[in-house]
């Protein structure tokens, strides 16, 4: 994958970042976990990406569904993060997370 930005539901995400080898910064926003075909496996929001991803409770689900890449949209506002997460979850119905 050589793409560096993608637009999902009107928001720009940067990536792909390999989950297993990336060190993530302490930033807040919405993240997408995708497989090698670009299918969204999970979506979530976080205040601190550097803490959330390495300690994520759905890592096994990501691995089982081929979710090895992360895309990230910076968003500081909690209500906006939750809204954007919900919008993506409803449209793409990812295999991992709240259903």
pLDDT in tens, 20-69: 888 999 999 999 999 999 999 999 999 999 999 998 999 999 999 999 99
Q: Is the pLDDT of residue 1 over 60?
A: no
For residue 29, give the nearest of 56, 52, 6 by alpha carbon. Answer: 52
pLDDT of residue 45: 97
Diameter over CA atoms, the chain? 31
pLDDT of residue 91: 95
Q: How far apart are CA 71 and CA 33, in angstroms?
A: 7
Share of the chain above pLDDT 90, in %: 84
Which tokens is 20 given? 């297993």
pLDDT of residue 96: 96
pTM: 0.92
């Amino acid at each position: 994958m050589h793409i560096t930005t993608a637009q999902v539901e009107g928001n720009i995400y940067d990536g792909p970042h390999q989950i297993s080898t990336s060190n993530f910064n302490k930033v807040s926003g919405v993240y997408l976990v995708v497989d090698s075909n670009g299918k969204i496996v999970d979506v979530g929001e976080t205040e601190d990406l550097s803490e959330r991803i390495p300690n994520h409770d759905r890592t096994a689900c990501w691995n089982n569904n081929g979710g090895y890449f992360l895309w990230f949209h910076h968003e500081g506002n909690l209500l906006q993060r939750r809204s954007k997460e919900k919008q993506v979850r409803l449209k793409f119905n990812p295999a991992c997370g709240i259903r």
